[in-house]
Structure 1
């Protein structure tokens, strides 16, 4: 019985520390992504991944996802994805021109091809009659800035709690079987 309990605790401990390290991707903090320009149908805006967002001179795959995204242009490129090289400081600027029938939300994703760092930001297209504005004034903050170790620590605590419950149930059943 002691071997079973030890095995359960060892598995729970391994899940707590080993699995999150293997599955944890690195993300560019939301504060390191800045949107400026006119996010409206037919408008043009820049998405800037600031200094240090990616490795210096790293190739970065950039993608635009959203309704009518195929009609948008990315810095005069007629596709919805492209690869640009980061500057010597690790920054990348993407210029997006939306189609005249743009609606809803668009997500810009930058992925460092060497570092595998991922940065995403979602913008909402303003109504055509709302007038163009600059900056993030009307855009919601869609980032998640909680450190990954807190998220994985909470998940590990849940797994550990489930393992404890399983062990207590096994002990109770075993004692009930011996008593009968």
Structure 2
């Protein structure tokens, strides 16, 4: 009986360890993501879009396009569509100024000329007259969201199997004691 319990525990442990490997098997796009320095800003303000080294090929020409409810008024150095070269390490930094009457979600998309890599980042814009409390993330607890590599159901399944295993061991020990007396 103990061999079966140990085998079940080994299978459960193998499943828990294999779950992150299965999640990593997804074919993610090449290159690193580009992100804004803020997730929400007020109309008329500026935001900085940063692409980490390796996002683009070294010195590659990137065409940036802005879209949103008033995409034609976005200022990216000169216009709503703007081309520039990536840095020598494949990184890039883009300063974006939003229209003073902007509201809603604005998306800035970069396309590499030689790699064909596409990277988008979105920014939520609140009207300039909105209070500062509107800008904070309503779903945030104030703590960093570090994510998890194990699904919550897998944790509960593992805990349940552990409890079942402990109960089985206790019952087996009790049965052995009853038989010996």
TM-score range normalised by the length of the shorter chain: 0.5 to 0.7
- Find the structure with the greater CA-based Rg: 2
Cα distance between partner residues in 2 of 1:110 and 1:139: 29
> What is residue 8 of structure 2 aligned with on the other side?
none
Specify whether residues 105 and 121 from structure 1 end up closer, same or farther in structure 2 by C-alpha distance, changes over 3 A only. Answer: same
User: Relative contact order: is structure 1 or structure 2 higher (C-alpha 8 Å, sep ≥ 6)?
Assistant: 1
- Aligned residue pairs, count: 111
Contact kept? 1:48, 1:92, Cα under 8 Å: yes
Structure 2: 5+ residue runs without aligned partners?
1-26, 140-181
> What is residue 123 of structure 2 aligned with on the other side?
123
Please list, as runs of the form range in 1=range in 2, the aligned pairs for 1:15-34 lying within 5 A after superposition. 26-29=29-32, 32-34=33-35
> What is residue 61 of structure 1 aligned with on the other side?
63
TM-score of the pair, normalised by structure 1: 0.54
> What is residue 111 of structure 1 aligned with on the other side?
111
CA deviation map 1:79-116 (0-9, x unaligned): 21111100001011111100100011001101110000
Please list, as runs of the form range in 1=range in 2, the aligned pairs for 1:138-149 lying within 5 A after superposition. 138=137
Cα distance between partner residues in 1 of 2:67 and 2:31: 18
Q: Tell me, what secondary structure is at the counterpart of 2:37?
A: strand
Q: CA RMSD of the aligned region, Å? A: 2.8
> What is residue 87 of structure 1 aligned with on the other side?
87
Specify whether residues 90 and 122 from structure 1 end up closer, same or farther in structure 2 by C-alpha distance, changes over 3 A only. Answer: same
Structure 1: 5+ residue runs without aligned partners?
1-23, 141-180
